[in-house]
Amino acid sequence: MALAQVLAAIDKNLDRSLERLFALMRIESVSTDPAFAKNCRAAAEWLAKELATLGLDAGVRDTKGHPMVVAHGKAVAPAPHVLFYGHYDVQPADPLPLWQTPAFEPQLREVGGRKVIVGRGSADDKGQLMTFVEAVRAFVEAEGKLPLPVTILLEGEEETGSPSLAPFLEANKNELKADVALVCDTDMWNDTMPAITTMLRGLMLEEVIIKAADRDLHSGLFGGAAINPIRVLGRIIASVHDDDGRIAVPGFYDGADELDPEIKAQWTALDFSESKFLGEIGLSKPAGEKGRHVLEQIWSRPTCDVNGIIGGYTGTGSKTVIPAQASAKFSFRLVGKQNPEAIRASFRDFVRKQLPPDCEAEFLAHGGSPALQLPLTSPYLKKAREALAAEWGTPAVLKGSGGSIPIVGNFKRDLGMDSLLIGFGVDDDRIHSPNEKYNLTSFHKGARSWARILDALRS
């Protein structure tokens, strides 16, 4: 009955938990603006002090930018060691006039029948990180000890691209290494259905420059005889996808496994409106691989997009030029075991084979990283799913993320750890925007969820 007591402690202490969160939210820890550097440090110090009250060995650690908070707590009984990650920095509050209540004066309000915590950082990420801290506090209160070995790492530069994070992990590898990372910076499926993000697409970035004549040519004097690199590039772009939206680069799908049938069934059954999803950006039809569900298209299928193209005259009006070169930036989203560098090599061959006489291609590699996927067989995932289902009364959606979440790559590459990405944000939290909010349910049941997860992990 230990867990029941922990959950009861969370319920009983909700008001005081909110007071603590509000205290943290009042600190204007805007990381991008040097004028708020002191506030960032103040937030780090507030957190270190807070974590010390839980019996953790907590400290503020300097970096070249804003400091890290690192806290360690040993458990009495042996259990998996978890590393929890969150970030205490927030986006700027601008534009201020659009806030209905001041950005850094957090409030509990009732909006549309829901109680919500309003203020900058409520959802991204102070409210989320405090769900974990409050769960740990409840264990300490109910049981007098930590449920398992915990390291907490809180950074203050997430909103500015985490420049200090990788060097910090590298420099403190042995100290920070744990069995599994817990990251609380993602969303639920909706207000009532929890989610774990288990698939992150990888990325391969490649720029192609097609060169033809040794100078720009007059299209009257040479048009019809001289090869036009924009035309060559257009044909290459057109050839990347076949008519079914599949990518024609040889070997591209090697390692891009089909989705597990269980997950596929879950996604298909979700309350997901394709027309709403696309309608919000002014579109109506999914444009990817034919016969695939939109969620599959964006979460578990690899893609190719051209992110930019330029060549010739691009000012106002016209200029009758055949340019000497034209270039395009390609990005490939990768899944499963697709190998970024093998695909880069194959894509280069694919481009070279299409070059007509007198054209050459120059390539610029702009980086690449493989997809990250938490296996369905992971015991940590299994326990987290059970814990979330128990708390929310419905199975957690195992989501994908089309974009990258760099911290997960860092943890995998640098510390050899898988990450459980579990967060309680919802779509309408307005993160980065005025009137950011976090559902009180997310905060309260979020803390209860972590309590259940930690309890499951230690057993």
Q: Which of residues 339-358 bind a second copy (CB under 8 A)?
A: 356-358
Question: Alpha-carbon distance 301 to 292, whole Å?
Answer: 9
Q: Which stretch binds a second copy (CB under 8 A): 3-11, 152-160, 325-333, 412-420?
A: 325-333
Instruction: Based on the shown chain and the rule CB under 8 A, indicate whether residue 249 belongs to the binding site for a second copy.
Output: no
Q: Which stretch binds a second copy (CB under 8 A): 22-30, 180-188, 379-387, 396-404?
A: 396-404
Min dist. Cβ of residue 187 to a second copy (A) = 12
Residue closer to a second copy by CB (options 190, 219) is 219
207 three-state secondary structure: strand
Q: Which of residues 180-199 bind a second copy (CB under 8 A)?
A: none
Residue closer to a second copy by CB (options 1, 238) is 238
Per-residue interface string for the shown chain with a second copy, residues 256-295, x marking contact by CB under 8 A: ---------------------xx--xxxxxxxxx----x-
Q: Which of residues 358-387 bind a second copy (CB under 8 A)?
A: 358, 366-367
Spatial contact of 137 and 11, defined as CB atoms under 8 Å apart: no
Per-residue interface string for the shown chain with a second copy, residues 205-244, x marking contact by CB under 8 A: x-x----xxxx-xxxxxxxxxxxx-xx-xxxxxxxxx---
Residue closer to a second copy by CB (options 113, 317) is 317
Q: Which of residues 400-439 bind a second copy (CB under 8 A)?
A: 401-404
Spatial contact of 308 and 323, defined as CB atoms under 8 Å apart: no
Q: Which stretch binds a second copy (CB under 8 A): 25-33, 150-158, 328-336, 337-345?
A: 328-336
Question: Alpha-carbon distance 387 to 191, whole Å?
Answer: 17
DSSP state of 57: E
Min dist. Cβ of residue 330 to a second copy (A) = 9
Min dist. Cβ of residue 91 to a second copy (A) = 16
Residue closer to a second copy by CB (options 55, 406) is 406
Min dist. Cβ of residue 308 to a second copy (A) = 4
Residue closer to a second copy by CB (options 39, 162) is 162
Min dist. Cβ of residue 47 to a second copy (A) = 30
Residue closer to a second copy by CB (options 220, 379) is 220
Min dist. Cβ of residue 131 to a second copy (A) = 24
Q: In what order do the strands lie in the sheet with 360-369?
A: 325-334, 202-211, 360-369
Pick the binder of a second copy from 67, 323, 370, 425 (CB under 8 A): 323
Question: Alpha-carbon distance 330 to 310, whole Å?
Answer: 12
Instruction: Based on the shown chain and the rule CB under 8 A, indicate whether residue 161 belongs to the binding site for a second copy.
Output: no
451, HSE (Cβ side, Cα atoms, 13 Å): 30
Residue 142 has φ and ψ, to the nearest 5°, of: -80, -35
Could you write out the DSSP letters of every residue in 362-386?
EEEEEEEE--EE--TT-HHHHHHHH
Q: Which helix (H) or strand (E) holds 199?
A: strand 195-200
Min dist. Cβ of residue 287 to a second copy (A) = 4
Residue 353, classified by CB atoms within 10 Å of its CB into exposed (0-12), middle (13-18) or buried (19+), is exposed
Alpha carbon distances (Å) from 267 to 190, 261, 334, 336, 403: 13, 10, 19, 18, 18
Pick the binder of a second copy from 63, 160, 297, 378 (CB under 8 A): 297
Helix axes 14-25, 37-52, angle to 10 degrees: 150
Q: Which of residues 62-101 bind a second copy (CB under 8 A)?
A: none
Work out the widest C-alpha separation in the chain, in whole angstroms: 87
Residue 77, classified by CB atoms within 10 Å of its CB into exposed (0-12), middle (13-18) or buried (19+), is exposed
Residue closer to a second copy by CB (options 131, 197) is 197
Min dist. Cβ of residue 259 to a second copy (A) = 13
Residue found under tokens 């964006």: 298
Instruction: Based on the shown chain and the rule CB under 8 A, indicate whether residue 320 belongs to the binding site for a second copy.
Output: yes
Q: Which of residues 300-319 bind a second copy (CB under 8 A)?
A: 301-303, 305-314, 317-319
Min dist. Cβ of residue 364 to a second copy (A) = 9
Torsion sign (Cα): 123, 127, 129, 134: negative
